[in-house]
């Protein structure tokens, strides 16, 4: 059975399990003034016996329309009619005819096409959201671009992709009049299957794949295909060939090609030993990121900003890095917000400002960045910042913790223990701490933090000495790597001391100091020595934690 037949069978298996009304009948109903849904029209079109030929003609006509849609509106009428004669459900066809009649100042003729554009958009959005997991259904690559154009967005970057769930798709980046770029994924599986049918069945042409189609399209100067070929060649270390394809894609204003080029040149610059060669490569990095920035890429703003702040372009450009991060943060780039939050928290490059740091942490957290939420919580928990709690953050962290995130569980426990963003509750704090440990009792970082808090906290109600020793005994017995870390040995010793086993505490602390003899741990030796003396005197450690 041909792949296209399999695709049709899958489509027909949905719903009532009956064959769709023929495409010809639906067209007659439309001509007679009856209402026909875009979904029904699409289903019937996909079931036409000559689908491959129809899609080829549709694609050619839509390419012609795309080439003249902005500059030659008077030519759109005949092309638009030809497109709808081929497929009446074409978003491209209705959009350009609406443009054509609007240009002729005949709004009554444009209205039905505008209505079809809205219906088709709505039908696409009901099926999917444009994410990688739920790509929007489309017939052709031009229709994907026209979807963006019809919403008032300008396509600025594209690349073909393939995955187990979607055999052939297009990632499109589009720029609205204001705000951040929109990233949309489109499912082009019907288009791929029709081309494959043209080349024969599986048995006749077993080597035909999405990569075959991408190669064919790249040779036809399809910018998304050129970017895909370049990206693939880069993964194979065929960098000269990759650069050639990506440069070809970038000449048409494909910012994704610029971004990939910038990363290639950056990796080469890092490896370059000759200063002149490195300088030339860094110039290429900057040039490509600046091209992407000009097209509105917040990711490029962030990437170049980080390079500036890391001193790759000299001390004079450090402040320029801050400026680029702010531009990216204003376009909802959560990584840029996180970096700025760190800078203002630490007082690096900029003057220390906890209020500004909090604003950026909050922004990154609300963008759904899991790391940002955890960093924001630790910022609030730092006594030196003197910050009030954030109830919204607490709820976000609790939801994040439900996704099996033990670090978020610990932070929720810390917030309850301190009463930040909520009423203080030792019971809830301990429950969250135990939940984190139960999730992964051999996660050294999690177990160590929980055990330390429940051992040394100056909040007596929060202490759970027996439990703390039990989980550290288990960790340090089961995890050989943990026993090589002096900070974990320090916690283990502290749990022994708080339970009255000072002899064992001293033994373990001496072992911790022996491990810390290497230069790697020079910064913790004084603290370890101080704790050893406390244990030797028969005392325990108390700190303001969490």
Whether 175 is covered by a domain: the verdict is yes
Burial class (CB in 10 A: 0-12, 13-18, 19+), 356: middle
Provide, rounded to the nearest whole percent, the portion of the chain with pLDDT above 90. 89
Q: What would the pLDDT profile of 398-422 be if each residue is shown by its tens digit?
A: 999 998 999 999 999 999 999 999 9
DSSP string, 268-330: HHHH--SHHHHHHHHHHHHHHHHHHHHTT-HHHHHHHHHHHHTTTT-GGGHHHHHHHHHHHHH
Q: Are 170 and 161 in contact (CB under 8 A)?
A: yes
Domain hosting 168: range is: 3-208
- What does the pLDDT read at residue 202? 57
What is the per-residue pLDDT for 6? Answer: 36
Burial of 533 (0-12, 13-18, 19+ CB in 10 A): exposed
Q: How many C-alpha atoms does 440 have within 13 Å on its Cβ side?
A: 14
Does pLDDT of 11 surpass 50? no
Domain boundary among 182, 208, 234: 208
How far apart are alpha carbons 109 and 131 in whole angstroms?
35
Cis upstream peptide for 546 (omega within 30°): yes
Tally of domains within the chain: 2
Is position 149 within any domain?
Answer: yes
Q: Average pLDDT of 45-69?
A: 92
pLDDT for res 343: 98
Domain-embedded: residue 30: yes
Pick from 424, 372, 407, 410: nearest CA to 393: 372
In a domain? residue 355: no
Window from 24-28, 279-283, 489-493 with minimum mean pLDDT = 24-28
- Does the pLDDT at position 125 exceed 80? yes
Whether pLDDT at 159 is above 90: yes
Query: Highest mean pLDDT range out of 47-61, 200-214, 246-260?
Result: 246-260
Residue whose structure tokens are 């990796």: 267
Query: What pLDDT, in 10s, does the model give residues 284-302?
Result: 999 999 999 999 999 999 9
Q: Residue 495: pLDDT above 80?
A: yes
Identify the residue whose tokens are 């039905």: 112
Q: Using 50, 70 and 90 to split pLDDT, how confident is the model at 19?
A: low
Residue 364 has pLDDT above 60, yes or no: yes
Percent of the chain with pLDDT over 70: 95
**Residue 303 included in any domain:** no
Question: Is there a domain that residue 257 lies in?
Answer: no
pTM: 0.88
Answer yes or no: is pLDDT of 69 > 90. Answer: no
Structure tokens at 449: 């933090």
The residue out of 208, 234, 259 marking a domain boundary is 208
- Whether the predicted pLDDT of 16 surpasses 90: no
pLDDT at 323 over 60: yes
Report pLDDT for 204.
Answer: 62
What per-residue confidence (pLDDT) applies to 434?
Answer: 98
Q: What is the pLDDT of residue 201?
A: 56
Q: What average pLDDT does this structure show over 169-180?
A: 96
Q: What is the pLDDT of residue 17?
A: 43
In the predicted model, what is the mean pLDDT of the chain? 93
Q: For 222-279, what is each residue's pLDDT tens digit? A: 999 999 999 999 999 999 999 999 999 999 999 999 999 999 999 999 999 999 999 9
Q: What is the mean pLDDT of residues 343-359?
A: 98
pLDDT band at 3 (very low <50, low <70, confident <90, very high): very low
Q: What is the reported pLDDT for 513?
A: 96
The answer as to whether 193 is a domain residue is yes
pLDDT exceeds cutoff 70 at 191: yes
- Give the model's pLDDT for residue 13: 39
pLDDT digits (tens, 9 = 90+) for 436-469: 999 999 999 999 999 999 999 999 999 999 999 9
Last residue of a domain, one of 208, 223, 245: 208
At 9, the pLDDT band (50, 70, 90 cuts) reads: very low
Is residue 243 domain-resident? no
pLDDT of residue 511: 97
Give the domain CATH number at 470: 1.25.40
């Amino acid at each position: 059975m041909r792949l296209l037949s399999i695709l049709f069978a899958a489509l027909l298996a949905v719903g009532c399990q009956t064959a769709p009304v023929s495409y010809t009948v639906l067209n007659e109903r439309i001509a007679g003034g009856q209402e026909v849904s875009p979904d029904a029209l699409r289903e019937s079109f996909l079931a036409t016996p000559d689908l491959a030929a129809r899609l080829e003609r549709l694609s050619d006509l839509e390419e012609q329309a795309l080439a003249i849609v902005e500059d030659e509106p008077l030519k759109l009428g005949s092309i638009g009619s030809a497109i709808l004669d081929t497929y009446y459900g074409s978003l491209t066809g209705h959009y350009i005819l609406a443009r054509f009649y609007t240009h002729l100042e005949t709004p009554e003729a444009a209205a039905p096409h505008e209505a079809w554009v809205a219906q088709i958009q709505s039908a696409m959005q009901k099926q999917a959201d444009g994410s990688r997991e739920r790509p929007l259904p489309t017939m052709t690559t031009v229709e994907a671009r026209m979807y963006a154009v019809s919403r008032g967005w300008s396509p600025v970057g594209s690349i073909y992709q393939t995955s187990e769930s979607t055999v052939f798709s297009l990632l499109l980046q589009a720029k609205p009049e204001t705000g951040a770029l929109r990233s949309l994924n489109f499912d082009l599986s019907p288009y791929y299957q029709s081309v494959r049918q043209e080349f024969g069945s599986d048995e006749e042409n077993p080597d035909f794949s999405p990569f075959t189609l991408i190669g064919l399209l790249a040779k036809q100067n399809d910018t998304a295909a050129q970017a895909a070929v370049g990206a693939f060649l880069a993964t194979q270390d065929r960098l000269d060939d990759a650069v050639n394809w990506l440069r070809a894609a970038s000449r048409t204003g494909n910012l994704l090609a610029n971004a990939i080029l910038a990363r290639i040149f950056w990796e080469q610059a890092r490896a370059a030993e000759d200063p002149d060669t490195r300088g030339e490569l860094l110039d290429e990095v900057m040039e490509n990121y600046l091209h992407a920035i000009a097209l509105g890429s917040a990711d490029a703003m962030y990437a170049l900003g980080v390079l500036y702040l890391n001193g790759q372009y000299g001390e004079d450009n450090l402040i320029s890095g801050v400026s680029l991060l702010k531009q990216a943060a204003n376009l909802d780039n959560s990584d840029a917000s996180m970096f700025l939050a760190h800078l203002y928290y630490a007082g690096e490059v900029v003057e220390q400002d906890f209020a500004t740091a909090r604003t950026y942490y909050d922004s990154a957290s609300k963008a759904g960045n899991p790391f940002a939420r955890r960093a924001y919580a630790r910022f609030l928990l730092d006594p030196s910042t003197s910050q009030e709690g954030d109830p919204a953050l607490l709820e976000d962290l609790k939801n994040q913790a439900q996704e099996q995130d033990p670090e978020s569980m610990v932070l929720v426990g810390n917030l309850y223990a301190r009463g930040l963003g909520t009423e203080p509750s030792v019971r809830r704090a301990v429950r969250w701490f135990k939940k984190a440990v139960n999730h992964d009792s051999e996660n050294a970082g999690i177990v160590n933090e929980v055990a330390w808090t429940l051992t040394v906290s100056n909040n007596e109600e929060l202490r759970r000495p027996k439990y703390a020793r039990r989980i550290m005994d288990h960790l340090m017995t089961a995890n050989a790597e943990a026993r090589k870390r002096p900070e974990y040995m320090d916690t283990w010793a502290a749990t022994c001391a708080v339970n009255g086993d000072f002899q064992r505490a001293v033994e373990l602390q001496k072992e911790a100091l022996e491990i810390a003899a290497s230069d790697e741990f020079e910064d913790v030796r004084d603290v370890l020595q101080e704790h050893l003396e406390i244990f030797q005197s028969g005392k325990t450690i108390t700190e303001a934690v969490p």
